[in-house]
A = this chain, B = another copy of it.
């Protein structure tokens, strides 16, 4: 692709990026930076993949076992500043940052948050936009509303 080549045709763009035609509801990021990797973030991401595929929620190509009409995108990402409290998992557009996530926590996040819209409070540490204050451990549900 030449550097200045710019596609304006919407149908062409949809063909090139089928995700634009999918009913995406949420985007889940799993940090695979150095510190998070040291506490099993690759396994956390694999657990999300397995759990979301088994529920037909994971957007992606059919030949990879995913669903072209899935509602969740799963992506790995670099360090987000949760290095000492990883593995970090972010759920957008909700803006919920989970800390200290282990593979065994993934089914609960999928079931509670991604399916039922209820934030898993025991793991949620930050909500963006943030007022710059950490919530008390007994933060009310409104704070974490998905």
- Tell me how far the C-beta of A39 lies from the nearest C-beta in chain B, rounded to whole angstroms: 6
Asked if residues B130 and A17 are in contact (CB atoms below 8 Å), the reply is no
Q: Which of A48-56, A106-114, A134-142 contacts B (4 or more CB under 8 A)?
A: A134-142
* A23 CB contacts on chain B under 8 angstroms: 130-132
Minimum CB–CB distance from A68 to chain B (whole Å) comes to 10
In the complex, the count of this chain's copies comes to 2
Q: Is A18 among interface residues, defined by CB-CB distance under 8 A?
A: yes
Interface residues contributed by chain A, number (CB under 8 Å): 60
Contact A134 B92 (CB under 8 A): no
Contacts of A131 in B (CB 8 A): 23
Identify the interface centre among A69, A85, A133: most chain B CB within 10 Å of its CB.
Answer: A85
1/0 contact trace for A92-110 toward B, CB 8 Å? 1111000110100000000
Among the interface residues A81, A83, A94, A133, which one has the most CB atoms of the partner chain B within 10 A? Answer: A81
A47 contacts B by Cβ under 8 Å:
no
Determine the chain B residues whose CB is within 8 A of the CB of A27 once the complex forms. Answer: 80, 90, 92, 95, 128
Shortest Cβ gap from A97 to chain B (Å): 8
CA–CA, A24 and B96, complex, Å: 12
What are 10 A-B contacts defined by CB distance under 8 Å?
A3-B40, A10-B136, A17-B83, A17-B126, A23-B130, A24-B129, A25-B129, A75-B79, A75-B80, A92-B95
